[in-house]
Amino acid sequence: MNRSADHDNHRMVTRRTLLLGGGQLMLFGALASRLYYLQVIEADKYQLLSEDNQFNLELLPPIRGRILDRHGMPLADNQDNFRVEIVSEQTGNVMTTLNKLQSIIDIPEHEIRRVLRDVKRKRSFVPVTVIENLGREEISRVAANTPYLPGIKIEVGRSRRYSFGTEAVHVTGYVAAVSESELTGDPILELPDFRIGKSGIEKTYDLPMRGNAGQRQVEVNALGRIIRKMPGNQGEPGADITLTIDMRLQKFAHNRLERGEGRWLSRDNRQAQEALEKASPSIRNQLQNRPKILINQKGQAVAPESGGVVVMDIHTGAVLSLVSAPGFDPNKFSNGLSANDWEGLLSNPRTPLNNKSIAGQYSPGSTFKMIVCLAAMEAGLATANTRISCTGHVDVGDTRFHCWHRIGHGELDMIGAIEQSCDVYLYEIAKKVGIDRINAMAHRFGLGEISGIDLSGERRGLIPSREWKLATLGTRWQVGETMNTGIGQGFVLATPLQLATMTARLANGGLAINPHIIAAHGVINDIPNMGLNAANLAVIRKSMRAVTMGARGTARKAALKIPDWEMAGKTGTVQVRRISLAERKAGITKNADRRWRDRDHALFVAFAPYDAPRYAIAVVVEHGGSGSSVAAPIARDVIAELHRLNPLGNRDQAGRAGLPTGRKG
Amino acid sequence: MARNIWQDNSLNPPELTLAQRILQINWLLLILVSLIALIGLAMLYSAANGSWSPWAVRQAIRFAMALALCIAVAIVDIRFWLRWAYLSYAISMTLLIGVEVMGEIGMGAQRWIDLGLIRLQPSELMKISLVLALARYFHGRTYDEIGQIRFLLMPFLAITAPVILVLRQPDLGTALMLVMGGATIFFLAGVRLWKFGIVGVLSLASVPIAWQFLRDYQKKRVLTFLDPESDPLGAGYHILQSKIALGSGGTWGKGFLQGSQSHLNFLPEKQTDFIFTMLAEELGMIGGLALIGLYMLVIAYGFIITLRCRNRFGRLNACGMTTSLFLYVFINIAMVMGLLPVVGVPLPLISYGGTVMLTVMIGLGFVINAYIHRDLEIPRRTDET
């Protein structure tokens, strides 16, 4: 054996061992520096990522503010909405639990299938909704049985409730699920249960009523299972919105408008059943969701009247009721409208989705005559004593303009002309005043103008002028058109809200009040005076009193029978379609003989009480027939109800002194 | 029969009695190892969300058994191990082939033989046996012989045969460790450096060919390693979550039992392959460095013993086993920190699992065994006497 070779060998091995050890030491050094790099240099980055992993931000939807009427009665509030959820991992067997649940409450078979599908798709700890919107009784039955229903949980959500449904829907509007185009990036809008205002006050005051969402961090594991909920801020509930509406009056006016000249009969009534059988499918459809059947004076089943009623405090412009019929049920929208219901709303010929009080534009007809007469008096072209003889018609060139009274009224002064709604008188006056002055006066009374009420979808109406005609129709203004405008026909269009505003300004002595529906509208100290001659206004008011109280007044049958509380008004019957020669020959001149959509609109504007005016009202009954026989009685009944309810209290009627309007009742 | 060999070596110091050998056991090394194992138990307690079951208790029992086995291996006469080295290799090889055959019959990637109580993983046994066999082989070769390629052919085959079998299982991590462990013995035995160079170049050249033999999931792991952020919820998820856990632990950690990544199950396999991540998340860089430091001490001990040992078999054994431990620790920690692909190598003494614990403790047994017999001279050819 070679000792020195072994010695060399030993040194070589020692060298290589040290080399190997040194190499391993270096590699450990690499590990240590990597650890330093990850845990010290990049620590912040990974710290953030770790928290991202660990915590999900959970938004707590705020409680939506309520909508209250002037007395604090909620028109829209939030209701506990009980739902039953199933957590599959807590059930022994999903199907067994569902079967047991089915024996306690009624669950449709297709819902069961949906639940089973969802349970399979979702992770086993994610709750799946079995059934929503349960009544208290059903919930208590489920709650009593929970020991036998493993994995079943009762959860409470909130849903919007409109206690008055259709009667206030055109004021409150409705909420519904957020649509894609409404997303603003605000995460609250992406919550699955979040609802957003789509119309009415719900839309206008959506932001203040929404409130601020609370936030909470939720610790989750890698599968998304919630491990722990951290305390967070609860957010702020939305603000309540108080309206100037008196819901009792609103409800009364709505029902009174719908009833029209008819009466409601119980569905058990034989006469009602027979009438319903004879009615057209369209009428049957419109009566379908009603508890009772509406029967007219001829014993036929008819659809409830459609149109608008606006009641206003003449001193402040506070709107006490804003009715548009037909309405629809906003509750259905917040819970998700069925395609069938939606189809029904769209196909209804009476357009329930249209807010007729602010967006329905109607020829004002004879209700416009006060504006024309006032324009004439203000221009010094006529006085209360201006007398004109009515022979039943006026000829201008080749055209003959008829009075509604074929044989003529004979000689009339201004008060008599308005009392009997003589058309010839107004033709002559309008011709004298000219379209420019009529147009200017109409605008001063808010016609053809947006009022700026806090509701979306308001329409402007139309007060024609020379410029307007040239611009839109391309032809020059004709004198005949001035005469037609003089009786509120032709191009003139106004909404019920504008007619109420006009009446209020006539009644309050020419103060330019503006309608508003929000109680917190602010103190109105300085309502501009329109600068009209008080004597002229008095003539107009006196003529309106004659309409209801005069011996020949067109609305004398609708006079208010309350001592010291007279109603002064003006009827309007607006031709929707010219009566054709053939119809005239066939004797079809009466409204009742014509198809609904060919009948005249019935209008009535009024204020009361005559001596110390407080309220103005405008009633439009679409295709209702005559203003005097259909619209005027509605206005009278609503004003009688106003007298009974006395919504403004017994305060001194000196509203012009600037009483605050934001008070509650 | 050991006595026979003994009497032929008059230069040797007197025979050690069993008691003397027990006294010679390197107790400090065992204390260090036990310290690491205790840290492991604490981590398993944490991994179970503060519970001794299901992992910590069983792991403690395993460690106790493995410690006993380690001492037993250490105090057996080194010449006994020398004599049985080849046989152990043969047994390991047979078992490895057995697993292969059983896997062929129909259980897919099976790496173990179920013996009822323990699942025997032949590839782990092979890590020991390969070191023993190579140590014995080079113990019997002179420096000159080692310089000749024909003498290197047999040990080269001894490495490649199990590596191919393990690769077929497929177990990339173990194959890598067998190759590196074997290469270490070659290196220490005095194989000329240029030969390593040639083999190295050849291996690099064969990488594209080897790529063809990799399973899809193995390819994916390698690709994921190269760019973990490319697919954060897919294959890169584990390594990314592991880095998040480590990084968010910071210098001082989130506190024992407070690792959010680990306890919320973002971290995969937190009780086995990714246990270092959990430790470093909860105990921070300080805890991680402390554990690495403990391993370094153990490994340094191994190298000191290697240097102290005068017989080549013991020296090669000690260094081979130490390097094997180093490879476990390094590959595992590098893997969870995103320095190496995820190859499924556990952290010895810490990760939950019996086989690796056994392998490492037996290896340590051989290191101590080499220390006990450090001054013993053993002739080249025991079988010639």
User: For position A215, what pLDDT does the model report?
Assistant: 77
Q: Is A568 helix (H, G, I), strand (E, B) or coil?
A: strand
For chain A, the average pLDDT equals 87
Do A45 and B144 count as a contact with CB atoms less than 8 A apart? no
Q: Is A80 helix (H, G, I), strand (E, B) or coil?
A: strand
> Could you read off the pLDDT of B71-114 as tens digits, one per residue?
999 999 999 999 999 999 999 999 888 887 776 554 445 566 66
Do A45 and B312 count as a contact with CB atoms less than 8 A apart? no
Question: Does residue A659 register a pLDDT over 50?
Answer: no
Chain B residues whose CB is inside 8 A of the A30 CB are 334, 339
Residues A213 and A344 in one domain: no
Residues A491 and A632 in one domain: yes
CATH label of the domain that carries residue A166: 3.90.1310.10
Cis peptide before A74 (omega within 30 of 0): no
Chain A: give the shortest CA distance to residue B169, in Å.
29
Chain B: give the shortest CA distance to residue A61, in Å.
27
Asked if A525 and A656 count as a contact pair (C-beta separation under 8 A), the reply is no
User: For position A507, what pLDDT does the model report?
Assistant: 95
Chain A residues whose CB is inside 8 A of the B334 CB are 30-31, 34
Residue A26 forms contact with B (CB below 8 Å): no
Q: Beta-carbon neighbour count of residue B262 at 10 Å?
A: 28
Do A39 and B303 count as a contact with CB atoms less than 8 A apart? no
Give residue B233's pLDDT band: very low, low, confident or very high (50, 70, 90).
low
Indicate the number of domains in chain A.
2
Chain A: give the shortest CA distance to residue B210, in Å.
26
Question: Does residue A661 register a pLDDT over 50?
Answer: no
Question: Does residue A157 register a pLDDT over 50?
Answer: yes
Distance CA B43, CA B41 (A): 5
Chain B: give the shortest CA distance to residue A27, in Å.
8
Quick one: how far is CA A253 from the chain centroid?
A: 16
Do A40 and B190 count as a contact with CB atoms less than 8 A apart? no
> Tokens standing for A46?
């990974």
- Region of A173 (left: φ > 0; alpha: ψ -120 to 50; beta: rest) is left
Range of lowest pLDDT (A207-216, A416-425, B6-15, B279-288): B6-15
Burial of B313 (0-12, 13-18, 19+ CB in 10 A): buried
Q: What is the DSSP letter of A202?
A: H
More confident residue, B306 or B258: B306
Instruction: Indicate the residue among A204, A221, A242 that finishes a domain.
Output: A242
More confident residue, A255 or A653: A255
Residues A223 and A322 in one domain: no
Residues A483 and A393 in one domain: yes
Which H/E stretch holds residue B369? helix B354-372
The boundaries of the domain holding residue A596 are 307-515+532-645
For A270-309, give the secondary structure using H, E and C.
HHHHHHHHHCCHHHHHHHCCCCEEEECCCCCECCCCCEEE
Choose among A600, A598, A637, A601: nearest CA to A617. Answer: A637
User: For position A446, what pLDDT does the model report?
Assistant: 94
Chain B residues whose CB is inside 8 A of the A12 CB are 143, 190
In this structure, is residue A650 part of a structural domain?
A: no
In this structure, is residue A606 part of a structural domain?
A: yes
Mutate to test the interface with A, among B237, B244, B319 (most CBs of A within 10 A): B244
User: For position B75, what pLDDT does the model report?
Assistant: 93
Pairing verdict, β A214-220 and A67-68: unpaired
Stretch A108-121: mean pLDDT, rounded?
83
Residues A411 and A497 in one domain: yes
Cα Rg of chain B, angstroms: 21
Helix%, strand%, coil% for chain B, nearest 5? 70, 0, 25
Do B248 and A34 count as a contact with CB atoms less than 8 A apart? no
Mutate to test the interface with A, among B229, B246, B305 (most CBs of A within 10 A): B246
Q: Which of A31, A40, A46 sits opposite B292 (nearest CB)?
A: A31
Do A49 and B249 count as a contact with CB atoms less than 8 A apart? no
Mutate to test the interface with B, among A10, A18, A35 (most CBs of B within 10 A): A35
> Could you read off the pLDDT of A125-140 as tens digits, one per residue?
777 888 887 888 888 8
Residue A32 forms contact with B (CB below 8 Å): yes
> Tokens standing for B339?
């320095």
Stretch A143-158: mean pLDDT, rounded?
82
Give residue A4's pLDDT band: very low, low, confident or very high (50, 70, 90).
low
In this structure, is residue A51 part of a structural domain?
A: no
Residues A190 and A311 in one domain: no
Q: Which of A12, A31, A46 sits opposite B244 (nearest CB)?
A: A46
φ, ψ (nearest 5 deg) of residue B366: -70, -35
Burial A365-381 (b: 16+ CB within 10 A, else e): bbbbbbbbbbbbbbeee
Q: Beta-carbon neighbour count of residue A617 at 10 Å?
A: 30
Stretch B3-26: mean pLDDT, rounded?
69
More confident residue, A249 or A87: A249
Do A20 and B323 count as a contact with CB atoms less than 8 A apart? yes
Chain A: give the shortest CA distance to residue B70, in Å.
23
Residue B300 forms contact with A (CB below 8 Å): yes
> Tokens standing for A496?
């019920």
Residue with tokens 């973990």: B228
- List Cα–Cα distances, B121 to A300, B88, B113, in angstroms: 95, 14, 6
Chain B: give the shortest CA distance to residue A89, in Å.
18
User: For position A582, what pLDDT does the model report?
Assistant: 67
Chain B CA closest to residue A31: B334
Chain A CA closest to residue B301: A21
Chain A residues whose CB is inside 8 A of the B8 CB are none
Question: Does residue B244 register a pLDDT over 90?
Answer: no
> Tokens standing for B375?
């001054």
Instruction: Indicate the residue among A242, A257, A290 that finishes a domain.
Output: A242
Domain map (residue ranges) of chain B: 85-348
Residue B151 forms contact with A (CB below 8 Å): no
Chain A: give the shortest CA distance to residue B286, in Å.
9
List, in order, residues 6 or more apart from A79 with CB less than 8 Å away.
A158, A159, A160, A161
Residue A407 forms contact with B (CB below 8 Å): no
Quick one: how far is CA B304 from the chain centroid?
A: 18
Asked if B249 and B282 count as a contact pair (C-beta separation under 8 A), the reply is yes
Choose among A629, A513, A609: nearest CA to A564. Answer: A609
Interface A-B: count of C-beta contacts within 8 A: 129
> Among residues of chain B, what percentage have pLDDT more than 90?
43
CATH label of the domain that carries residue A317: 3.40.710.10
Chain B residues whose CB is inside 8 A of the A7 CB are none
Choose among A498, A511, A485: nearest CA to A605. Answer: A498
Distance CA A245, CA B149 (A): 107
Asked if B243 and A50 count as a contact pair (C-beta separation under 8 A), the reply is no
Residues A353 and A477 in one domain: yes
Quick one: how far is CA A302 from the chain centroid?
A: 25
Per-residue DSSP letters for A224-255?
A: --EEEE---B--BPPPPEEBS--HHHHHHHHH
In this structure, is residue A661 part of a structural domain?
A: no
Do B264 and A53 count as a contact with CB atoms less than 8 A apart? yes
For A321-372, give the secondary structure using H, E and C.
EEEEECCCCHHHHHCCCCHHHHHHHHHCCCCCCCCHHHHCCECCHHHHHHHH
Range of lowest pLDDT (A66-70, A205-209, A359-363, B121-125): B121-125
Give residue A195's pLDDT band: very low, low, confident or very high (50, 70, 90).
confident
Chain B: give the shortest CA distance to residue A332, in Å.
42
